Structure 1
Amino acid sequence: MPDFNDDLRLAHILADAADATTMERFKALDLKVETKPDMTPVSEADKAAEELIRSQLGRARPRDAVLGEEYGSHGNGPRRWIVDPIDGTKNYVRGVPVWATLISLVVSGENGDEGVVGVVSAPALGRRWWASKGRGAYTGRSLSAATRLQVSKINKLEDASFAYSSLSGWEEQGRLDGFLHLSRNCWRTRGYGDFWPYMMVAEGSVDICAEPELSLWDMAAPAVIVQEAGGRYTSLDGEPGPFGGNAAASNGHLHEELLGYLGRTG
């Protein structure tokens, strides 16, 4: 199995630099915020963090391609870094500490694209999670001070905690009935939002989570972490990995039930 330790170390260095940039402008009274064509906000911190990450990747991995939320795709090749400089920009611009920088590495092989490194860094929460293929998933302050992650062992839906981002989108995707039925049959439901519920699935404090519409930069890093913690990460229709445009993540035991509810349309 290929060793991606050097790439994981680089992802941590990139996350350190991004954290310094984003925290410097978090809650700044003069923070500049614009509205993108898709009507979502983007702050100067989003742009600065992605520019910084791209610059460092250009020096450290000049042959690798990069896909970022703010500046699109650059380069070609079998290795591609996926960057979301601030996942949770709406929280960031309102002073809510639930946001993170997501950095991942996807490689192309005989079986298609596969995420092999993922780092999720949430400096305002004082938390970071990471994983590399075949090496497990961890949380902690650094590579040398970390706790290994493990998904929960809950195997009954009536005992499960279900997390989601918001209600918007489920009806548009024709999946609202399944979402409501699932919510009624779970022990607990909470709308934590963005990266956080996936990290809680990896930690074992949440058992299932899902979102009806996402981009690759929202999913690539969380998918590696959930999978390396022993869980499953697919699209709502069961496509493995973060490439299906939406997400279903679980501890594995409940995944088919999760898809049974949310894979329904109409």
Structure 2
Amino acid sequence: MDVTGLLDTATEAAMAAGPRLREAFRSRPQITTKRDFHDPVTEHDRAAEETIRAVITARRPGGAIVGEEGGETGSGEVRWYVDPIDGTANFAAGLPFFCVSIAASVRGELVAGVVYDPIREDMFTASTEGAWCDGKPIRSEGATRDREAMLLSSYPTPLDLEAEGEEALRRYGRFVGSFAAVRRPGSAALKLAHVAAGWSDAAYGTHSHPWDVAAGALLVRQAGGVYLGDPLAKGDYLAHVGGFDLKNSALAEVLPG
């Protein structure tokens, strides 16, 4: 298995989308919506995915590509999961917390992943060999308990509020009361990359797709952190730095099934 080649391809594809995203950032692009008005998309999402697909197809023909905007195309033992802009709402508004996320799996096993922050130009990469940021090894280390920890979470989302009602707000209140700080930065992939690097201590999300979390999950695990949930299926996820006391955390009540 050419893991290095897969990672190099993912890195090249992510970087290829960078110039357009940097140029368009804070241009207030026109927004259309998908599921509802909470789910925006811009022309730059679609264009960036086309660029990424072109690089992958040229470098590694014969696989399947599963993209947020373009759906699934192709077939083969290698599957690529592509989110051209994870955090579109942030990108469209001019908030610098979004990224390109690309992961590759072989026969159902994640083997390579890239999370690229085009504004800060941080390149997070992971493979079966380890995890890195800008070529330097990273370790998922930080706080050991809630009262010292930074939690990154977009919970409750509108879908959570619809399904759980006031209980979602009460649970969010327990998070706020338990953790040293809770932030809602708005990009699952970049949240996971920050946990992998030890820049934050935990991340929790619901209703995520593989293109949102596959690369970030590999980063966390290969950096020595913990990722719970199936990154190759739609669902919830929970991640934390190594050594964190999840058993006695407020997050213990939302462990993914």
Q: Does 1:59 align with 2:58?
A: yes
Change (3 A) 1:204 1:173: farther
Q: Please show how residues 113-262 of structure 1 align to structure 2 within 5 Å.
A: 113-133=108-128, 135-140=129-134, 146-168=135-157, 169-174=159-164, 176=168, 177-194=170-187, 195-235=189-229, 240-254=230-244, 255-257=246-248, 260-262=252-254
Inter-partner Cα distance in structure 1 for 2:252 and 2:155: 20
Change (3 A) 1:173 1:105: farther
- 1:159 Cα deviation from its structure 2 partner: 2.4
Cα pair 2:155 2:206 within 8 Å, conserved: no
**Which deviates the most, 13-22 or 78-87?**
13-22
Q: What's the CA shift for 1:264?
A: 8.7
The 8 Å contact of residues 182 and 261 in structure 1, kept in 2 or not, is answered as no
* TM-score (ref. length: structure 1): 0.85
Counterpart AA for 1:83: V
**Counterpart code for 1:126:** E
Shift of 1:137: 0.9
Match of 1:143 in 2: none
Contact preservation (8 Å) 1:98, 1:196:
yes
| Partner amino acid, structure 2, of 1:230 | G
Offset at residue 179 of structure 1 (A) = 4.1
Equivalent residues in 2 for 1:92-107, closer than 5 Å: 92-107=91-106
Letter of the 2:153 counterpart: Y
- For structure 2, list consecutive stretches of 5 or more residues without a partner in the other structure: none
**Alpha carbon RMSD of aligned pairs, Å?**
2.3
Task: Provide the C-alpha distance between the structure 2 equivalents of 1:27 and 1:154, rounded to a whole number of angstroms.
Answer: 34
- CA separation in 2, counterparts of 1:246 and 1:20? 32
Cα offset, 1:85, TM superposition: 0.4
Between structures 1 and 2, the one with greater helix share? 2
Identity of aligned residues (%): 31
Distance 1:173 1:33, change over 3 A: same
Output the CA distance in 1 between the equivalents of 2:240 and 2:23.
34
Q: Which amino acid aligns with 2:252?
A: G
